[in-house]
Structure formats: structure tokens, C-alpha cells
């Protein structure tokens, strides 16, 4: 009979998204990724509340595979990874991410038609029922923004797609391969139940 591990089922209960300027000092060390409490470098700005129906949606796409004369084997196409999140708050941090600028002394932003081209560092944490978490830290760029239609009595969010970009700040040790992000999955130390007898 098949056995199931219900504690391994991912049932999201919350999380956070934060961004920081692209700089080596804003990369979390591998040893810090699973720490509790986790302290982000001071340059990170929280992007605040996320719409209930706009939680982080991970995307992974692959380009056309390369086929060979022999039937069967293929080389996978070049892939991309992205995360889409619908931000509910209209804060300076959200405006800086989506407009690439901060308001001046009069609270004015002179907007551009183009998307911001600056690369940022992103930290994303997703918490699950049972205490498990997924944590991501990597380099990303805004590649799409869609503002919700204003509907009376409903939250008007900004749906932002951030595409992870391969970057030397996230070079996999010993391989020389630039990764778009690093991921930690586990239960932070404070949520792990003690072994029996402790």
C-alpha cells in the first residue's frame, strides 16, 4: 500500500518579497539562508502586502530543443525562470521597483515608457503549513508590469514579473557556472520539533 507524507505537502500560508540594489554585499551567504531569525542586509526593502490571489507564481520556460540526425536524443533549449507577484501596497519601495525612480521633494516621479532596466537582488520567502519554508536569493530584472483595473471595494494591485538572470554573484561553487538564484528548502531551526527524549 502506498504511504504518503502529509507533512511534505506544500500548503502556503504567507511569506515576503524584498529587493536590494545589485551589490555583492547584499547577497546572503549560503550559511545564512536557513537561519532563524533571518536578518537581511540593511539595503533590502520589503515590498509589503501581496494580494491573496496574487501570491508568487513561479515560471520556468525552455526554448526549442536541439534535435539530432539520430532519432531520440535532444539537447534542451536555453531556459528562463521568473516569478510573478501581485503587490498590494503602493509604497516608495514598490514605486522604485516598478518605475525605476523615487519621488522627488514634491512627491513627483517623471515616468518613462520603458520598464526599469536595473538589475536588483531579490529575496523571496514562502512559508508553508507545518513549518517548512522555501527561500530564494538571486539577481532579477523587472520584465512585465500590469496594474489591476480599479474596482470599487477591491485591492488594486501591481502584477510584477521578475525574471531571474544568471549572474556571477551566484556562481555555483566548484563549477564556474553562473546561477540565477540559490534556493533553500527546509524547516528553520526554531520550528523543528525536538527529538524524543530531549
**pLDDT given at position 74:** 79
Is residue 22 pLDDT above 50, yes or no?
Answer: yes
CB contact at 8 A, 93 and 105: no
Which of these, 127, 133, 143, 126, lies nearest to 180 by C-alpha position? 143
pLDDT per residue as tens digits for the range 110-160: 998 999 989 999 999 999 998 899 999 999 999 999 999 999 999 999 999
**pLDDT given at position 186:** 92
Indicate the domain borders of the chain: 12-27+39-62+79-189
Is residue 48 pLDDT above 70, yes or no?
Answer: yes
Choice between 75 and 194, residue whose per-residue pLDDT is larger: 75
pLDDT per residue as tens digits for the range 49-70: 999 888 899 998 877 778 887 8
SS3 letters for the chain? CCCCCHHHCCCEEEEEEEEEECCHHHCCCHHHCCCCCCCCCCCCEECCCECHHHCCEEEEEECCCEECCCCCCEECCCEEEEEEEEECCCCHHHHHHHHCCCCCCCCCCCCCCCCCCCCEEEEEEEEECCCCEEEEEEEEEEEEEEECCCCCCCCCCEEEEEEECCEEEEEECCCCEEECEEEEEECCHHHCCCCCCC
Sole residue written with cell 516608495: 92
CB contact at 8 A, 141 and 180: no
The rounded distance, in Å, linking the Cα atoms of 195 and 28 is 29
**pLDDT given at position 18:** 97
Burial readout 127-148 (b: 16 or more C-beta within 10 A, e: otherwise): bbeeebbbbbbbbbbbeeeeee
Q: How confident is the model at residue 34 (pLDDT cuts 50, 70, 90)?
A: very high
Amino acid at each position: 500500500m502506498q504511504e504518503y507524507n502529509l507533512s511534505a505537502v506544500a500548503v502556503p500560508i504567507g511569506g515576503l518579497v524584498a529587493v536590494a540594489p545589485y551589490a555583492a554585499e547584499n547577497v546572503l551567504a549560503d550559511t545564512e539562508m536557513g537561519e532563524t531569525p533571518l536578518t537581511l542586509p540593511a539595503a533590502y526593502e520589503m515590498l509589503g502586502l501581496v494580494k491573496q490571489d496574487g501570491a508568487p507564481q513561479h515560471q520556468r520556460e525552455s526554448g526549442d530543443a536541439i534535435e539530432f540526425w539520430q532519432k531520440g536524443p535532444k539537447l534542451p533549449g536555453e531556459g528562463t525562470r521568473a516569478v510573478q507577484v501581485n503587490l498590494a501596497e503602493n509604497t516608495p519601495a514598490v514605486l522604485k521597483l516598478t518605475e525605476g525612480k523615487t519621488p522627488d521633494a514634491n512627491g513627483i516621479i517623471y515616468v518613462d515608457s520603458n520598464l526599469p532596466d536595473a538589475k536588483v537582488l531579490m529575496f523571496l520567502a514562502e512559508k508553508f503549513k507545518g513549518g517548512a519554508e522555501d527561500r530564494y536569493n538571486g539577481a532579477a530584472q523587472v520584465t512585465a508590469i500590469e496594474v489591476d483595473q480599479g474596482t470599487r471595494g477591491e485591492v488594486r494591485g501591481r502584477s510584477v514579473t521578475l525574471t531571474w538572470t544568471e549572474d556571477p554573484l551566484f556562481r555555483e561553487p566548484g563549477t564556474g557556472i553562473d546561477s540565477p538564484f540559490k534556493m533553500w528548502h527546509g524547516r528553520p531551526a526554531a520550528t523543528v520539533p525536538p527529538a524524543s527524549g530531549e
